[in-house]
């Protein structure tokens, strides 16, 4: 199997829904008694978790895919650098458009980054504050 075939198989294995970080957040919130809808396609960006009655959404972003400013997010693949740089830039631009669209519709947004999930107690308290207090927790 050549390198191109290996890369293709690796990329096919990457999921956009029900990822490990997303499942971790979902389990934590469900255990605390929060109920939500998943991946509402009628909302811009198809948010990971939707709290309709509170008019709030949570996105769980992978640091690499969404260009976070952490060590993992700043990493650029060795092969095909130009493609990956453009892709991450487009993802960031799309994320901003989605946030702007949701804000225009009156939704509040919380973005959780994959690297932040290492400290679940901190995440749990900030998410609980976001859901229970009328304010925005966007990071």
Which tens digit of pLDDT belongs to each residue from 33-49? 999 999 999 999 999 99
Least confident range from 5-14, 88-97, 100-109, 117-126: namely: 5-14
Rounded to two decimals, the pTM is 0.85
pLDDT above 60 (res 138): no
What count of other Cβ atoms lies within 10 Å of the Cβ of residue 120?
Answer: 14
**How does 49-70 read in b/e, with b if 16+ C-beta sit within 10 Å?**
bbbeeeebbbbbbbbbbbbbee
- What's the N-to-C CA distance of the chain in angstroms? 41
**Third-level CATH fold of 16-132:** Endonuclease; Chain A (3.40.960)
Q: What percentage of the chain exceeds 90 in pLDDT?
A: 62
Separation of alpha carbons 81 and 99, rounded Å? 27
| For residues 77-83, average pLDDT | 86
Ordered by start, the domain boundaries in the chain are 16-132
For the chain, helix, strand, coil in percent to 5 are 50, 10, 35
DSSP 60: E
């Amino acid at each position: 199997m050549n390198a191109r075939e290996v890369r293709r198989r690796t990329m096919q294995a990457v999921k956009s829904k029900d990822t490990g970080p997303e499942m971790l957040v979902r389990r934590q919130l469900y255990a605390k008694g929060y109920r939500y809808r998943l991946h509402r396609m009628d909302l811009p960006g198809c948010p990971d978790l939707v709290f309709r009655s509170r008019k709030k959404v949570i996105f769980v972003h992978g640091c690499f895919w969404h260009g976070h400013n952490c060590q993992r997010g700043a990493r650029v693949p060795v092969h095909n650098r130009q493609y990956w740089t453009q892709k991450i830039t487009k993802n960031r631009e799309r994320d901003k458009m989605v946030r702007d669209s949701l804000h225009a519709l009156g939704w509040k947004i919380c973005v959780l980054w994959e690297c932040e999930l290492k400290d679940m107690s901190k995440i749990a308290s900030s998410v609980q504050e976001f859901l229970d207090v009328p304010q925005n927790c966007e990071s």
